[in-house]
Structure 1
Amino acid sequence: MSDLDLCYMPAHEALNRFRAKTLSPVELMEAVIARAGAVQGKVNSLTFTHFDRAMDQARKAEAKFAKGSRTRALEGLPVAVKDESAIKGMPTSGGSLIMKDDIADHTSVVNQRILAAGGIVHARTATPEFSCAGYTWSRLWGVTRNPWNTDFTPGGSSGGSGTALACGSATLATGSDIGGSIRIPASCCGVVGFKPPYGRNPEDPPFNLDFYCHEGPMARTVKDTILFQNVMAGPSPQDIATLRPKLRLPLEMKPIKGWKIACSMDLSIYEVDPDVRKNTAAALDVFRSLGATVEEVDLGWTPDVLDAGMTYLRHLFGAYISQLLKDHGDDMTTYARQFAEDGKKSKPVDFVRSLDVAAGMYRTLGPILERYDVLICPTSGLPAVPADFDQSKDTVQINGKVVDPFLGWVMTLPFNMLSRCPVLAVPSGHAANGVPTGIQIVGRTYCDADVFRAGLAYEAALGGWFTGPASRPNL
């Protein structure tokens, strides 16, 4: 097996090989670190790296497996952590010049769980400043590029995580999702990402109390995403919003023959690129081949949905960032500064209206999900925008029509508004420009197992992703 094959080995397979003593955590870590070094100059997916420390930890994991000692859920696996959550004593920049010298004085709960499960954090992954964009570049770290076509973005805000997975620079990676920041890079990079329902996974304050905000797993396979989610999930005494009891998902699930699946190509409100439509239709045919009935539904949503979602984000997230404007405005990226300035203008009455809109959205989606097992739609209306895209000055067109440059080209925000619905993002193919496309599998509120059951069946029917040289980025 080549070193590159090791880099793309699924996490669950690596763990089985560790236990069988046919692979060492040291061998895997060496291969992943070498791969990260080989591609970093092309894609710029990583910020801080901790390779020496990671190799020391890999040797300790190797010794545990060699002795037959009890091992943990992620023992010896290379895990890339998004450069926004804290690990005590280590730098966390949030993609911002303002935070370039910050050293964390605590460890975020999800990161505590990763480390306690034996995961080895070998690198931090790039984000846009404050994770407030659907692409990934910053003044501090530069432009992160899509490994399938470097002219385009890998998505954001967890773009470094999506890129690292697609390149084989990590076995697992963390993401966070307040407007699509897990699902957008999952689609743009051809990987898997899960937006859990609100409260399932702990989050840092104050955004643990923002129901749009979700910490979640990213991986190259659905099974690995389940494995990682099982580590992240569960109540925390540090987060009042977390749910009891802990939900543990099985790694194997039953087929979906006989299921009823609702689908919507545009959620009634989005422009959708022809390549995205074609690949989504092909994905729906896969579900039909598995014995499911797939039917188009009309959600009846109106264009004010996107405006309401953006109003909510500006009122909480934008206003939060706006506190930095007075002392640090000149250090901000153009897009973060615009978002902060818009946040200062937000009014409480507009915020309350956004809640009314979300309630109206669920009045149509809720009954549909009572009649169907899941809803499937594209993750993004456009495969990707350019790598250096700037929503403060650039425009986006789909089908010749101008759409909102912030999140109007992706189809993720409605399911932050309806945040109790679990959403699994999986690949659907590639566009003509080589950039991957994806679909979202949306479940009933808090029915996480349903979206994973559908995702496992879909993945098995396709034979998986990244399984050989032809199905990996040519870097």
Structure 2
Amino acid sequence: MTEDICWLSATELVHALRERELSAREVVTAQLDRIERVNPAVNAIVTLLPEYALEQAADADRRLAAGEPAGALHGIPMAHKDTHDTAGIRTTYGSPVRTDNVPDTDELIIERLRRAGVITLGKTNVPEFAAGSHTFNPLFGATRNPYRPDRSAGGSSGGAAVALACGLQPLADGSDMGGSLRNPTSFNNVVGLRPAPGRVPGFPGPAAWSTMAVSGPLARTVADVALMMSVIAGPDDRSPISISESGSAFTQPLERDLTGLRVAWSPDLGGSFPVDPVVRSTLAAQVRVFEELGCVVEEASPALTGADEVFRTLRAWQFELTLGPVLDQSRELLKPSLADNIEQGRRLHGTDLARAETLHTQLYHEMRRFFHRYDVLALPVSQVPPFDIELEYPTSVDGVPQYDYLDWMRSCYYITVTGSPALSVPAGFTPDGLPVGLQLVAPHRGEFGLLQIGHAFEQATRFGLRRPALPPHPVAP
């Protein structure tokens, strides 16, 4: 029964809790039991609060029994990404600089989740300050891929994705600048959505007008992603770019007839980056599913000239903006690649930022025009399958050298700078059993239609039902 509870979807759990078929205490106890047995093998949850979680569960059951109003996620347990501030709970950002950091207030996404009735279990692992798509840091070590524990879990929401894949929690929160909601979900056979900027408003932060980093949901199903979006999306006057549409738009049915839908399939965005042949072949076989669903599929790519320059310039500028004081005070405690990224921001001039913003605008219009011809763009989430956990990043993709920790992430971060929402859905496995995700991209602010397309693909393929065969004992570090 405990195992059954841990593999229920969030949608199923919400129904069972409201109908009193399960109590919040039963759900939390089941998740805590599984975390105790499985988490040592994968290192997904790095701060665990069992007593606190059980207290919240008891209160959730009491309020439901008393007939008090219940939020959309009443009684659902979640551990939160360790870069999302949680009031009264240690939030380290995976860095020795913030080993003992305990925020006074919740970040906006956490505030909304708790208001909806989420029960906090603890925190999930991240790379240091969420820099990079491989989850390891000097405080907690690396998070392991449950399908192959000697492989990367991706990142930066790596702990969150692995916790979902292992049945440690039904929903997860994450963030994404260069692929952090997409890459780890691809590596772990779960679902992640990077919303358009402003769909899930952010607060607090020093760069409120920035469109680079967004928060969003991870789950085991597209329906659960939609459920979580109904809670975390919607306007907030603390974010100047927040979208006015209510999150309730995500409660509509996901079922949709895709007949005539125009799908652009691009294995490498017109040769913009190398892709491992096994990823390319795995996805090419699955794109045919859209034809079976009645779609018109063509190989086509938007011309994303300048995407690399835009992303690297604006990322470096934002890293200096947010982490410059940390570099000045604690340089010796930062990993070299992170310190170098901050230094790159300090070398920028006004002309660099002006050129980046001009190209940024051009990329938006190129994508806007592309979606006049097509309804959705399909491409790889990641250019490689999960790689050796001992590497900081893949040093080569299909024989092409990768010179830094960003190079191999172009398939995600080229989409970031277009402003389009992007969904990562399970799309198959390599011959040696490693997950591969398909990235679906929709017009600006077209998240709900994107979820409908992803749901249809998910229901037709059912790859997300394949669970990892977890090792029975912890893997030695």
Q: What residue number does 1:435 align with?
A: 434
State the Cα distance separating 1:64 from its structure 2 match: 4.0
- 1:29-40 maps to which residues of 2 (within 5 A)? 29-40=28-39
Is 1:74 the counterpart of 2:96? The answer is: no
Cα distance per residue 1:177-220 (max 9 Å; x no partner): 11111111111111111111111112131243221110101100
Cα distance per residue 1:242-292 (max 9 Å; x no partner): 121324213523221221111111012011112211221122111111111
- 1:245-284 maps to which residues of 2 (within 5 A)? 245-247=245-247, 248-253=249-254, 254-268=256-270, 269-284=272-287
Is 1:472 the counterpart of 2:468? The answer is: yes
For 1:454 and 1:27, locate their aligned partners in 2 and report how far apart those are by CA, in whole Å.
Answer: 34
Q: What residue number does 2:354 align with?
A: 352
Aligned partner of residue 307 in structure 2, secondary structure:
helix
For 1:230 and 1:250, locate their aligned partners in 2 and report how far apart those are by CA, in whole Å.
Answer: 6
Q: Is the 8 A contact 2:164 2:171 kept in 1?
A: yes
Q: What residue number does 1:422 align with?
A: 421
Report the more deviating stretch, 291-300 or 6-15: 291-300
Q: What residue number does 1:337 align with?
A: 339
- 1:58-457 maps to which residues of 2 (within 5 A)? 58-66=57-65, 69-204=68-203, 205-247=205-247, 248-253=249-254, 254-268=256-270, 269-302=272-305, 304-390=306-392, 396-410=395-409, 411-419=411-419, 421-457=420-456
Aligned partner of residue 372 in structure 2, secondary structure:
helix
Q: Is the 8 A contact 2:317 2:342 kept in 1?
A: no
For 1:326 and 1:473, locate their aligned partners in 2 and report how far apart those are by CA, in whole Å.
Answer: 45
Q: For residue 250 of structure 1, what is the amino acid of its counterpart?
A: T
- Aligned-pair RMSD on alpha carbons? 1.8
Residues 370 and 340 (structure 1), Cα distance of their counterparts in 2 relative to 1, 3 Å cut: same
For 2:49 and 2:228, locate their aligned partners in 1 and report how far apart those are by CA, in whole Å.
Answer: 21
For 1:44 and 1:163, locate their aligned partners in 2 and report how far apart those are by CA, in whole Å.
Answer: 9
Residues 348 and 406 (structure 1), Cα distance of their counterparts in 2 relative to 1, 3 Å cut: farther
Residues 97 and 262 (structure 1), Cα distance of their counterparts in 2 relative to 1, 3 Å cut: same
For 1:241 and 1:191, locate their aligned partners in 2 and report how far apart those are by CA, in whole Å.
Answer: 29
Instruction: Give 5+ residue unaligned stretches, structure 2.
Output: 472-477
Q: Is the 8 A contact 2:421 2:445 kept in 1?
A: yes
Residues 318 and 288 (structure 1), Cα distance of their counterparts in 2 relative to 1, 3 Å cut: farther
State the Cα distance separating 1:306 from its structure 2 match: 2.0
Q: For residue 470 of structure 2, what is the amino acid of its counterpart?
A: N
Report the more deviating stretch, 287-296 or 362-371: 362-371
For 1:333 and 1:433, locate their aligned partners in 2 and report how far apart those are by CA, in whole Å.
Answer: 32
Aligned partner of residue 425 in structure 1, secondary structure:
strand
State the Cα distance separating 1:301 from its structure 2 match: 3.5
State the Cα distance separating 1:69 from its structure 2 match: 4.6
Q: Is the 8 A contact 1:45 1:164 kept in 2?
A: yes
Aligned partner of residue 413 in structure 1, secondary structure:
helix
Aligned partner of residue 407 in structure 2, secondary structure:
coil
State the Cα distance separating 1:473 from its structure 2 match: 3.8
TM (norm. structure 1) is 0.93
State the Cα distance separating 1:66 from its structure 2 match: 4.6
Aligned partner of residue 218 in structure 1, secondary structure:
strand
State the Cα distance separating 1:125 from its structure 2 match: 0.6
Instruction: Give 5+ residue unaligned stretches, structure 1.
Output: none
Aligned residues: 466
State the Cα distance separating 1:70 from its structure 2 match: 3.4
Residues 263 and 56 (structure 1), Cα distance of their counterparts in 2 relative to 1, 3 Å cut: same
State the Cα distance separating 1:412 from its structure 2 match: 0.7
For 1:473 and 1:29, locate their aligned partners in 2 and report how far apart those are by CA, in whole Å.
Answer: 23
TM (norm. structure 2) is 0.93
Aligned partner of residue 238 in structure 1, secondary structure:
coil
